[in-house]
Each structure stands twice: as structure tokens, then as C-alpha cells.
Structure 1
């Protein structure tokens, strides 16, 4: 009850402020009406207890930057103290952000770091100096400015004279779209202008300027309170070039390589352009890229001959003086690459190698056995070779006589033969022939000659007996040796 009375009294004093401007301090007492006793008493300053109305005409405006808003307002209508000491408090929030309170002064303030494309709701209140805050104002709502990429807004010049600005209306159903721009050629900006379209159905505008012109552009749509704004960054004519696609793309085959040529899309800056080629083999899904290393309008590619290719080319400023983005791809060129005489080389060599391999496999087993027999002869079958030898050994029985003196210690004999004059002319000497024939048959009885060098001598009859039977010799050789021994024995008898 006492508090209610106190607030009623203060409201009465506030209502009398304009009629009593010289009033600075008053003594206020609260008296009990039944007992007439002062319950509460204090000195009250009217300035200290003054509550200001909320600011009026609060509005939100784009600043030209994405995620920023400019707040503007007017002072409360009941302010009568020093305006410079008046303080304001701003409370704002967005859909995905909690409320934020800031204390500001003046009649405007810039809000930053807002969520682009979301509704921002704001309220304000005021107080004189460091006293009590007044009530909050009614909420004000606006959409935070967005980036031009959100609606695919882009501007470029194809010829350094016109600037084409395009956007996509399907992303936001905002109704009518308005493109605003301003430009400068030196230092001062012109006022904002509205780009006039040929009709409302075309989502592009055309601006005109010079090579040194600089632009600022934004797009707006929707009603005033909930309108959306899309801002582009400041750009110059020379930094936003997007030429037309190169024209006249042609192809020819030179020394087994695919060579291309085309015409530059913007002749006045042709020496500052670079090109990119993409080609695709028929039946493949991926494109292969090739960047031309200079501003030349011709190049050769190392591609597979005997195939069908789809080829396109585009252009872009190299960034030295002029910059921008890649142009659209040119019209597609289809190239049929025929094989030259090189296919004979690549086909004949594998065929020849295949024929040689087949012939080698076919004739190798036939001649391999002969080559192997020449290099590595086979071992004879001992059973067949020794068959006759073993038969002779099993059939002959030789008993040596050990009382016969061997001829190893016999003295050397001289053979003397007296011949008549008639027989002197005869070249054959029976005795010597026996000796010589004995030597000639040394390969048959080498061991016999070594043990009895004078086997035909008549002075040593014991030499007529040979302890060796020559059983190791073949039958033909044994027969020849026996005839030789009989001849020698007959000659001794005649002597």
C-alpha cells in the first residue's frame, strides 16, 4: 500500500516537471492519515527520478555489407535535459541467436556479425545520464543482407563497354527484383540508381561505362519491411571480364598429332588471354584438360590416333593487367583421327614375332635331339659292346708256364744276314720284315714286344712261347696275330 502511494506521488511530480522547470529537489514525506504520523521522509531530485520514453522512429537499413545493419532513431519526446548525456540500450536477436544488449549514444548505430538472410528483431530504451532506464520500445524487424552468391548474382563485361548482371529468381520467391547500382570514374560516387530492365520477366540488367569505371551493385526483392537484399563486392570494369567463347575452332592432323586453332574472343586484349582445352574420347565419361601455356591461338595435342574426339576451348584473362573468370565453352568440335602408315609398323612386328615363336615351337623338338646328341653324346650300352669279349673269356683257358725264363734280362742281339748279289736288289727282308711287321702290329701286341723285343730270334728258343694270349683283342685281330706268329716260326725253321 505504501509503495503504491509512493509511485502515485512520483507520477504527479513528473507530470509537473514542465510547469515547474526551476524545481530541482523536493522533500517528500509519507504521513499516516489516521494518526497523522510521518512514516517516511526523504529529499527527492526530479532529474534523478525522470523516466524517458523509448526512442521513436526506429528503423533498420542495409550498410552495403553482408551481415550488417544500420539502426537509426529519434530522441524521446519527453527529453528536456542535456541530449549528449542521454544513453540508449539496444536489444536484438535473430532466429538462431540469443538476445544481445548493447549501450550506445548518438542517433545511429551499426550492428555487425549478424546471421545473413535471417530476421533480426530489435528494441531500444533510453535514460538520462546514469539514472533509471525507461521502457522498451516496440520491436522492429528486418532481414539481414545476404551475399550475392545466395541468389547467384554476378556481373561481368564481355567487351569493356557493357556490364551484364544476371541472377537466379528461382531461389527466392520474392516477387519483383530491383537492381541498384552506383559508379565512379575517379574519386566520388554517384547516387544510387535503379537499373531498368527491358521487361519484368528478364532476370538481367545491362550497365554502361568505360574501362576505368568502378561499380557497386545490390539486388533487392520483396516488401519493404521483409525485403531481402543481396550485395556484391565492389568491382572494376577491368577486373570482372568474362569474354565470349572462342570462335572458329578447327583441327588437323600433323605428323601423327592433333593440332587445333581458333580465333580470340576479344581482340583488344588478345595478348592478355589464356586458353583451356578439354577433349573426350568417344565412349568415355571424363574430360581431359589441357591449358595452353601462352596467348597463342593454336596448339597440338598428343592423342591416340584412330579414335573420335569431342573438343572444346574457353578463354580467361591471365591476371597481369586484366582479370576475370573463364568464359563459357565454345561449340563442340568432333574430330575423326585416322591412322597413318605407322600402323604397319605396330601391326607387322607383333605378327612377325608371333610367326617366329610358332615356328620355333614347331621345329624345336625335331632338331633339339640332334643338337643334344652332338653336344652331349649318349653312353654306349656295355652289355652289347662286351658281349663277345665276355664270351671269349668264358671259352679260353690259359695256363702259364713259370719255368720258362723271361726275356727281360736277355742280351741284345745283332741280326746279320748274308745275301747274294741277286737277292741284294730285293727290298724285302724276310727277317727284317718279321721284325718290322712285329713293330707294325705293335697296336695288337704291344705288351708282347716289350717283354720280348727279339721274338723271332733263333738263339733264344724260349722266346717262342708268349705268356700273353691276347684274349682282349677282337677275333679278327687275334686271327691276324696268329698268322703273324706262324710266319715268324716258319722263318726260324728255315734258318
Structure 2
């Protein structure tokens, strides 16, 4: 019975006598016969040039077959020495089966040891590592990894490939560490499994995985065919690891108002008031062989209304930024992780609103003048001006030339207008989102107003936007 799982892996070997070695220091051989045939005659099993008898044990195999098994004495197991096997009919002394082999060519090796899996620190990636199955033959094996979502056991496993060739370091904070799954490894590949790239490394980065999914992962080994050879061994027991969820699931948005600090905001279900939120950040690895920065915890956290959360931190200058939000809850699963892919500070700018410093009205022409929200970005800022009749919802939005600091609008006389301006970095280096609109100013364009000065005031409306034309 202990032989059966290993024997099934030799089903594709075209020999009458099937043999395997688990450690290259042992050897087991067997052959199968129909039960009636086995009962009608007796066979003897011999090996070596000088025929040496082996004590054969017999097992019932399946419904109508008999399996004869020889486990070789350890003193007769020698590497790189041809071994001649013979099965003789005891009645006629005729050879029924024979085979010549070497022990180093029939390896059937156990799965790798100490398999671990964890998040690799990048979107859709898990890092899997293991140790060789035999300590005396560390560099003699090929490995194959397969994985599938833990929630879909009926799905065939996918076979891992390792196109990156890069070894990530160990992040100090990760969504899930490896655990042994409840399902045991199977002896053969599931139907429909795509056999992919085989590798000699004792680690692999699984890529293009789904976010927020727990995966079951298995590894198997095989002699590499150089000095040692054989067949694929059994799959390991499954280990489990989880990819972090997408940052979009919690609306995670990060930006910098001043090119020094980063403010991240996200929202959470108000039905879970007892959750604990932590944000971590770091610079992603810059390439193969480089040391990873440790995750830093963001300390300046705040909680707003309607389940909104925010945290502000100052990242290391001159590098991209990765962000991870861990949300701990009082029920299972206790911690959910949300990962935002790396971004650069200069591409995530969200400035304060521009400041209107001069607003004048003369003969139906409104002149607006403002200061850029961040002087360092002055030459790379686009602006929009919008205006509407006071207490109206019909905004006219005008695009202003890049880096401009003033605009003149032709207004119809006989009404009071609200006007605002906003900015967006859109240059070759600095990029980002539109700022909030500036505080509204109210101007009087009545026919008899003549020259007038705008004043700050509340327009009190947020409405649809209608495109307008810039004054000539």
C-alpha cells in the first residue's frame, strides 16, 4: 500500500520491470501480473551479473492483478554501476522479464522541503521558496510549481513560470504568510493542467495573479537529467498565501500638495465601526539584487465623517512610492490588505486652489488675476476659470493658456456674477489632478455699475458644467 502512490508515477515508463529510488541510496523494483497467471507459476527475481536472489513480497493490486515487489539491500545499491535484473520462471528457468539500469537514472524524489509562500510586494505576485529534497544532492534537481485559487478546488491548477529571474527580499509587512492548506498533495497532475517552464532555482515569483485571492500552491521535484535522472515525484502538500486587494476597492487615492508630503485618503464601510486602519509605505525595489526598504508606518492618521480615513507622510525623495493599507476587523478574516501600485511624487500632484488676488469689473469686462498655488510648478500649471450668474446653476468653464496668471471675460451687463479658478499640473514633468475651485468672488455687471471691485462671497451652488468661450 505504501508503494502504490509512487508506483502510479511510473505509469508512463515503457518497462516490464519498474524501478525507482527515493534517495539514490535505496532501490525498489516491481512487476505486475494478472492474478491467474501469477497463481499458475512461481517466478524468482535476480540481479547483478552474478545472479543474486531478492526476497520478493507480493501484493494484491487492483481487482485482478498481483504486484511483486523487491526492496534491495542497501549494500547492493551502488551509483554509476550497471545493474542487470531478471525475472525467471521457476518451472522452466526461462527469463520472463529483464532490464538493465543504473540507480542514478531512476530517481523518484520526494517534494521539496520547507515550502513557504508570501506576498512578493508587488501587485498580483506571490513569492514561493523551498529547500532541495535531498541535502546530499543540492544542485541536481528541477522544480515545478502549480497554483490555483483556494476557493475553486474544481479548477485545474496553473503551472508557474519564472520570467523575472529576480529574487525579492523579505518585506516586514505582508498580507498573508504561508500556511499548510487542508488539502493534501496529489500524486499526478490534475486533468487539464498546463505544464509550463521548469526551473532549477529554489524560488519563483508567481505573476499575473488576481487581487484579493487566496491561492493554494504545490511544488514537485525531478532529477535534472545531468548526473541524475528519473521521473517527476509527487506534488507537495499545498501551502496557502493571499494577494492583497486592489486599492480601488476602498477608493485609495494618494497625492502631494507640496512636492514633499503625501496624503492618502480612503473610505470604509460605516457598518464596521470597530475596524482598525494602518497605512504603510516604502520605496519599491529598484532591481535584481537590491535591498528592499522596510515598510514604514504612517503616523499622522485621521478619521473623518462617513467612514473616510486619511494619513499624511513624508516619503524618501527621488524614488517611487508603494502604499499598503491593512484593515483589521473583529471577525474572520481578521485583516484585509489593500495595495496601491508604485507611483512617483511628481506624477501625483494635487495643489491647493489658486488664490485670486485682483478682481476688477470695467465696462462689462471682468479681469481676474491670481497667484499659482505652488511657485515651483508655475510654468507647468494649466488653469480653468468658471463663472455663472449669481444663484444660477449654468456654469461657463473656460480653459486658460498654460502658466497664465490672469484672464479677461466679457460679461453681459445687468447681472451679478460668481467667478472661480482652479489649477492642474500638466507639464512634461509634473502631472496630477485638478485642484479644488478657489473661493468664489462676486462681481456686479449691471449696466450702470461702471468700474467696480469684486468681493468674496458664497455662490452657494454646485451644478453641471457648461463649456464657454474665452473673451477676445
Q: How far did residue 91 of structure 1 move? A: 1.8
Query: Aligned to 1:93, which of 140, 148, 154?
Result: 148
**CA distance in structure 2 between the aligned counterparts of 1:62 and 1:172, rounded to whole angstroms:** 29
SS of the equivalent of 1:155 reads: strand
Residue 164 (structure 1) shift: 2.3
Q: 1:116 aligns with which of 211, 217, 233?
A: 211
Tell me whether 1:191 sits opposite 2:293 in the alignment: yes
Q: 3-state DSSP class of the match of 1:47?
A: helix
CA distance in 2, matches of 1:118, 1:72: 19
Compared with structure 1, are the counterparts of its residues 336 and 8 closer, same or farther at alpha carbon in structure 2 (3 Å cutoff)? Answer: farther
Q: RMSD across aligned C-alpha pairs, in angstroms?
A: 4.1
Against the structure 1 CA distance between its residues 189 and 48, is the aligned structure 2 distance closer, same or farther, given a 3 Å change threshold? Answer: closer
Which residue does the alignment assign to 2:267? 168
Indicate how the Cα distance of structure 1 residues 199 and 115 shifts in structure 2: closer, same or farther if over 3 A, else same: closer
Q: Return closer, same or farther for 1:263/1:226 CA change in 2, 3 Å cut-off.
A: closer
Corresponding residue of 1:135: 234
Distance, in Å, in 2 between the alignment partners of 1:308 and 1:284 is 10
**Aligned-partner SS, 2:116:** strand
The answer for the alignment partner of 1:390 in structure 2 is none
Question: How far did residue 136 of structure 1 move?
Answer: 0.9
2:353 corresponds to: 245
Contact 2:279 2:311 in 1 (8 A): no
Work out which of the residue numbers 45, 53, 69 in structure 2 matches 1:9: 69
| Equivalent residue number for residue 313 of structure 2 | 207
Cα drift, residue 105 of structure 1: 2.0
Q: Partners of 1:141 and 1:277 in 2: how far apart? A: 54
Distance between the aligned counterparts of 1:106 and 1:142, measured in 2?
20
Aligned to 2:362: 254
Q: Distance in 1 between matches of 2:370 and 2:116?
A: 57
Corresponding residue of 1:178: 279
The answer to whether the 8 Å contact 1:155/1:166 transfers is yes
Quote how far apart the aligned CAs of 1:53 are: 1.1
Distance 2:237 2:448 in 1: 84
> Is the Cα–Cα contact under 8 Å of residues 30 and 41 in structure 1 kept in the other structure?
yes
Structure number with the higher helix fraction is 1
**Quick one: structure 1 residues 38 and 129, their matched pair in 2 at CA, closer, same or farther if it must change by over 3 Å?**
same
From 124, 145, 152, give the equivalent of 1:67. Answer: 124
Q: Secondary structure at the match of 1:104?
A: coil
Among 241, 254, 260, which residue is 1:155 paired with? Answer: 254
Moved more, 268-277 or 16-25: 16-25
How far the C-alpha of 1:219 sits from its partner, in A, is: 0.5
Distance 1:87 1:225 in 2: 38
Larger radius of gyration: 1
1:221 aligns with 2:312: no
Deviations 1:266-314 (A, max 9, x none): 2344344332122334565453211221433321222333334443321
C-alpha distance after superposition, 1:238-268 (max 9, x if no partner): 4432211123466432221222233332234
Normalised TM-score (structure 1) = 0.56
CA distance in 2 between partners of 1:261 and 1:241 (Å) = 23
Contact 2:300 2:313 in 1 (8 A): no
Q: Displacement of 1:321 after TM fit?
A: 4.8
Instruction: Give the structure 2 partner of residue 433 of structure 1.
Output: none
- Cα pair 2:80 2:104 within 8 Å, conserved: no
**Cα pair 1:65 1:145 within 8 Å, conserved:** no
Residue 230 in structure 1 maps to residue 339 in structure 2: yes
Unaligned runs of 5+ in 2: 1-29, 33-57, 60-65, 160-195, 451-472
Q: CA deviation at 1:228?
A: 3.3
Cα deviation digits, residues 124-147 of structure 1 (max 9, x gap): 111112521111112233333555
| CA contact 1:316–1:326 (8 Å) conserved in 2 | yes
Calculate the TM-score normalised by the size of structure 2: 0.58
Alignment partners' CA distance in 2, 1:47 and 1:268: 70
SS at match of 1:66: coil
Residue from 412, 415, 420 that aligns with 1:307? 415
Alpha-carbon distance change, 296 to 50 in structure 1, aligned in 2, over 3 angstroms: closer
More strand by share: 2
- 3-state secondary structure, aligned to 2:105: coil
Count how many residue pairs are aligned between Structure 1 and Structure 2. Answer: 333
Unaligned runs of 5+ in 1: 343-495
Confirm or deny: 8 A CA contact 2:79 2:104 kept in the other structure.
Answer: no
Q: For the residues of structure 1 that align with 2:319 and 2:261, how far apart are their CA atoms?
A: 13
> Does the 8 Å CA contact 2:31/2:69 hold for their aligned counterparts?
no
Structure of greater relative contact order (alpha carbons < 8 Å, 6+ residues apart): 2
CA deviation after TM superposition for structure 1 residue 70, in Å: 2.8
Cα separation, 1, equivalents of 2:336 and 2:116: 14
In structure 1, the residue matched to 2:54 is none
- Is the CA contact 1:59–1:72 (under 8 Å) kept in the aligned structure 2? yes
Q: Is the 8 A contact 2:280 2:296 kept in 1?
A: yes
Question: For 1:147-197, what per-residue CA distance to the aligned partner results, in whole angstroms no more than 9, with x for missing partners?
Answer: 544443333322233222333344998854331313899xx8772232232
Verify the 8 A CA contact 2:360 2:368 in the aligned structure 1. yes
